[in-house]
Chain A
Amino acid sequence: MPSPLWEGQEDVRRAPGSRSHALLLAPLDQLHAGAAEWVGRELAGGSKVLYKGWLGTDQRPDRHWIVGPWGAPGGQEAFASGQLEFLDFPAVIERCGGTTEGLFRMQLDELEQAFDEGWSTVAMTQETTYRPMTDATEAAEFAGQERGYDLMGSRWPVNTLCQLSLGEERDTAIWESMAVHHRELVATQWSARTADGRWHLVGELDAHVAREFGAAVHGALRAAWRFPDRPHLDVDLSEITFMDLACAQIMMLAARSTARHQRVVLHRVPALVRELLTVVGLPRSVSFGTEAVRWSS
Chain B
Amino acid sequence: MELVTALDAHHAEGLDHRGVLYTDRASLVALAVPLITRALADGERVVVVVDRATARELDEALAHEVGTSSITFPSPSALGGHGSRAFTECLAGWADGPVRVVALTQYAPGELGPGVDPSLSGLPLTLICACAEGADPAVRRAFDDDHDAAPRRHADPHDGHGPPAAALETDLAGSADLAGVRRQVRRAAVAAGFRGRELDRTVLAVHEACALGCRLLVGAPTSDPAGDTTAETARDTAGDTAGDTDRRCWVTVRTGDGRLSADVVVPGAAGTDGAALPGTPGVDQDTVLGHVGHFCHAVSVHDGRRSRAIRVQARTALAR
* Known pairs A213-B238, A297-B196; A207 contacts B226 (CB<8 A): no
Contacting pair B238 A210 (CB below 8 A): yes
B13-21, B155-163, B197-205, B268-276 - interface stretch? B197-205
Interchain CB contact under 8 A, B230 and A218: yes
B69 beta carbon closer than 8 Å to chain A: no
Task: Output the nearest chain B residue to A132 by Cβ-Cβ distance.
Answer: B225
Which residues of B (182-234) have their CB < 8 Å from a CB of A?
182, 186, 195-197, 199-201, 203-204, 207-208, 211, 214-215, 222-227, 229-231, 233-234
Partner of A272, one of B182, B200, B234: B200
In the complex, the answer to whether A133 meets B233 with C-beta atoms within 8 Å is no
- Interface code A258-297, partner B: CB below 8 Å = 1, 0 otherwise? 0000000000000110011001100000000000000101
| Docked CA distance A295–B288 (Å) | 23
Contact (Cβ within 8 A) B225 A206: no
Known: A244-B204, A271-B197, A297-B195. A175 touches B227 (CB 8 A): yes
Q: Mark A202-213, 1 if CB is under 8 A from B, else 0.
A: 001011101101
Residue pair A214, B234 in contact (C-beta under 8 Å): yes
Residues of B within 8 A of A175 (CB): 225, 227, 231, 235
For B186, list chain A residues within 8 Å (CB): 297
Whether A210 pairs with B239 at a CB distance below 8 angstroms is yes
- Contact between A208 and B195 (Cβ–Cβ < 8 Å)? no
Within 8 Å by CB of A135, from B182, B226, B239, lies B226
Asked whether A249 is an interface residue with its Cβ less than 8 Å from the other chain, the reply is yes
Partner of B234, one of A170, A171, A250: A250
Q: Is the CB of B226 within 8 A of A171?
A: no
Q: How far is the CA of A246 from the CA of B196 in the complex (A)?
A: 23
Query: Counting chain A CB atoms within 10 Å of each CB, which of B175, B214, B234 scores highest?
Result: B234
Q: Which residues of B contact A (CB under 8 A)?
A: 175-176, 178-179, 182, 186, 195-197, 199-201, 203-204, 207-208, 211, 214-215, 222-227, 229-231, 233-235, 237-241, 283, 288, 291-292, 294-295
Cβ of B179 and Cβ of A272 under 8 Å apart? no
Query: CB distance B237 to A249 under 8 Å?
Result: yes
Q: Which residues of A contact B295 (CB under 8 A)?
A: 275-276
The answer for the CA separation of A246 and B195 in the assembled complex, in Å, is: 24
* Cα(A217)–Cα(B238), bound, Å: 12
CB distance from A166 to the nearest CB of B (A): 10
> Which of B227, B237, B239 contacts A253 (CB under 8 A)?
B237
Contact A208 B207 (CB under 8 A): no
A-B contact pairs, 19 of them (CB 8 A): A133-B225, A175-B227, A175-B231, A179-B231, A206-B182, A207-B211, A207-B215, A207-B239, A210-B239, A213-B238, A215-B231, A215-B235, A218-B230, A218-B234, A244-B204, A257-B233, A272-B197, A276-B295, A295-B200
Q: Is the CB of A210 within 8 A of B291?
A: no
For A247, give the chain B residue with the smallest CB separation. Answer: B238
Q: Is B231 touching A218 in the complex (CB atoms < 8 A)?
A: yes
A211 and B226 contacting across the interface, CB-CB below 8 Å: no
A49 CB to nearest B CB, Å? 31
Q: How far is the CB of B194 from chain A (nearest CB, A)?
A: 9
In whole angstroms, what is the CA distance A171 to B233 when docked? 14
Chain B contacts for A135, CB-based, 8 A: 226
A107 at the interface (CB under 8 A from B): no
Q: Is A89 an interface residue (CB 8 A)?
A: no
* Interchain CB contact under 8 A, B179 and A206: yes
Residues of A within 8 A of B222 (CB): 171
A253 / chain B contacts, CB cutoff of 8 Å? 233-234, 237
